[in-house]
């Protein structure tokens, strides 16, 4: 199977593409035979052949099978389904022009379809490279500051052996917090690297949403026992197709953002999930200071960590990397994520489609 970034080659070959070509071309010929026996007008064969070339060019890699389909479709259509049937006669009036015109149209269709597909692959690759660049900027910012703080705290303890026990414990607490933050940065880095790997296929299994919320909030309460956490789930068990580890990572990131970026005034976090049409709607709300309006448009583009100013001595706890991870994970699940301010606080919400669940229940 070809990767998205590989350039199409006119001689590229794969058994997958060969099977697609044979299936589509054979189906088109059989359909034309049925319509011919039904005494349909001759024009149907031209339309079906062009459609076949378009589909083969769309679902195969490179130019080989599209070009082959273009040539064979013209030959088969003019030989079998055009007068004189089962013969090629270039002496007939208009026959050569019809043959060449159809061949040209088929080749142009093949070329344009393949080029459009190539341009789409290039666009996806460019978006992936942009995400990687933003990731590197966020990681450099997220890692440098806590490492500097750890070095500063440990140096202060080593250089001042007579440091009061209270100050020593305070410095050790800071070191622990910074080390935990670095662990979470690495977890985010591994998650977003996984999402950016073209060879990795996301495996989604129906998971009970309330169990995911329960596990995430239990872990969160251990780290922030002073905060009040409310969980709201539907009465009926809601199964959501997802990668449970990655979605748990998203919820953890959003809950931690609610604490860190609430201006120090966050005392309560509300986590909920409910069915909304064909989606499962997850939400994380807080009663903090909310999000600055100038920051809202850049929450998920990976540039926030670099562009935002360092305030309140919490520059290491920026939202850039964590929310880039959240967006990558949710998009990989076919969902959407958004954020907005409330009357008091902010809300992050994301949707995950329930199509797999619906299909299984059908």
SS3 for 244?
helix
95 by Cβ neighbours in 10 Å (0-12 / 13-18 / 19+) ranks as middle
Q: How confident is the model at residue 142 (pLDDT cuts 50, 70, 90)?
A: low
d(CA 221, CA 229): 8
pLDDT at 49: 79
Q: What is the pLDDT of residues 32-70, one digit of tens each?
A: 888 877 765 566 777 887 788 888 887 887 777 777 877
pLDDT at 245: 82
Number of neighbouring beta carbons within 10 Å of residue 297: 9
Task: Determine how β-strand 346-353 pairs with β-strand 279-286.
Answer: antiparallel
Q: Does residue 198 have a pLDDT over 60?
A: no
Task: Give the start-end residues of each E strand in 122-175.
Answer: none
- The tokens for 181 are 């933050």
Short-list 326, 250, 257, CA closest to 291: 257
**What is the chain's alpha carbon radius of gyration, rounded to the nearest angstrom?**
30
CB 282 within 8 A of CB 267: no
Q: Does residue 7 have a pLDDT over 50?
A: no
Q: What is the pLDDT of residues 14-26, one digit of tens each?
A: 788 888 888 888 8
Under 8 Å CB-to-CB from 92, ≥6 apart: which residues? 84
Share of the chain above pLDDT 90, in %: 17
Q: Does residue 270 have a pLDDT over 90?
A: yes
132 by Cβ neighbours in 10 Å (0-12 / 13-18 / 19+) ranks as middle
Q: How confident is the model at residue 168 (pLDDT cuts 50, 70, 90)?
A: confident
């Amino acid at each position: 199977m070809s990767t998205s970034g590989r350039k199409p080659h006119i001689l590229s070959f794969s058994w997958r593409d060969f099977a697609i070509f044979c299936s589509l071309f054979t189906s088109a010929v059989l359909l034309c035979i049925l319509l011919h026996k039904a005494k349909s007008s001759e024009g149907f064969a031209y339309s079906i052949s062009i459609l076949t070339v378009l589909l083969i060019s769309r679902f195969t890699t490179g130019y080989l099978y599209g070009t082959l389909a273009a040539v064979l479709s013209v030959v088969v259509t003019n030989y079998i389904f055009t007068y004189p049937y089962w013969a090629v006669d270039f002496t007939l009036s208009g026959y050569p022009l019809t043959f060449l015109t159809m061949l040209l149209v088929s080749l142009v269709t093949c070329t344009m379809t393949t080029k459009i597909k190539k341009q789409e692959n290039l666009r996806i690759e460019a978006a992936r490279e942009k995400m990687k660049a933003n990731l590197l900027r966020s990681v450099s910012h997220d890692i440098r500051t806590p490492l500097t703080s750890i070095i500063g705290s440990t140096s202060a303890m080593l250089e001042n052996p007579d440091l009061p026990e209270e100050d020593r414990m305070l410095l050790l607490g800071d070191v622990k917090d910074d080390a935990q933050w670095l662990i979470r940065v690495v977890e985010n880095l591994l998650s977003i690297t996984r999402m950016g790997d073209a060879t990795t296929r996301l495996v989604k299994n129906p998971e009970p949403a309330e169990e995911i919320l329960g596990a995430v909030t239990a872990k969160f309460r251990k780290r922030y026992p002073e905060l009040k956490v409310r969980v709201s789930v539907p009465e009926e068990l809601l199964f959501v197709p997802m990668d449970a580890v990655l979605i748990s990572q998203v919820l953890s990131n959003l809950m931690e953002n609610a604490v860190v970026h609430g201006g120090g005034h966050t005392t309560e976090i509300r986590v909920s999930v409910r069915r909304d049409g064909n989606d499962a709607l997850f939400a994380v709300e807080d009663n903090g200071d909310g999000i600055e309006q100038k920051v809202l448009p850049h929450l998920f583009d990976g540039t926030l960590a670099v562009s935002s100013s360092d305030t309140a001595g919490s520059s290491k706890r920026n939202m850039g990397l964590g929310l880039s991870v959240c967006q990558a994970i949710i998009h990989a699940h076919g969902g959407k994520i958004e954020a907005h301010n409330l009357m008091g606080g902010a809300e992050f919400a994301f949707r995950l489609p329930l199509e797999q669940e619906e299909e299984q229940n059908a």
